[in-house]
Amino acid sequence: RVKDRPQWLACLDYLRPGDTLMVRRLDRIAGSETMAIQTINELHERGVNIKSLTEPDIDTTTPMGRALFGIVAVFAQLRVDTIRDIAKVLGVGASSVSRALAKVDDEAEATVSP
């Protein structure tokens, strides 16, 4: 579904070696673990670094950082699969469940943040 994300495609096209892509959360790079890891690897091969605003310890320029990203990606895939399962049980679209969970995440983050 990358073709449905024209701004993301423009961003990927704009990045050059030595650039650093800042993202809110690493798991938002892609909708599946496989696609996220593939995107990270492609960016790394192009010399593009990735930094997360919410996961500052993950630095994809190091082996440990890539390993930690892999773990984050696994949980991102679990979230996607869980959203699909909930949507199926409720008989609603996955995007409805995803939006509701995002709202809960934002509210929880606002509660914790000073």
22: domain CATH number? 3.40.50.1390
Q: Which residue has the higher pLDDT, 32 or 79?
A: 79
Q: Which residues have CB under 8 Å from 17's CB, separation 6+?
A: 46, 47, 48
Number of independent structural domains in the chain:
1
- Give yes or no for residue 113 having a pLDDT over 60: no
Taking the complete model, does pTM exceed 0.75, yes or no?
A: no
Per residue in 39-93, pLDDT (tens digit) is 887 888 899 988 888 877 777 777 888 788 778 778 877 888 888 888 888 888 8
What six digits make up the tokens of 71?
Answer: 């773990």
Structural domain span for residue 28: 2-112
Eight-state DSSP code of residue 52: E
Task: Please give the structure tokens belonging to residue 49.
Answer: 């670094």
CA distances from 46 to 13, 18, 41, 50, 77 (A): 11, 9, 9, 12, 25
Q: Is the pLDDT of residue 24 over 70?
A: yes
Ranges 12-16, 25-29, 50-54, 84-88: which has the least confidence = 25-29
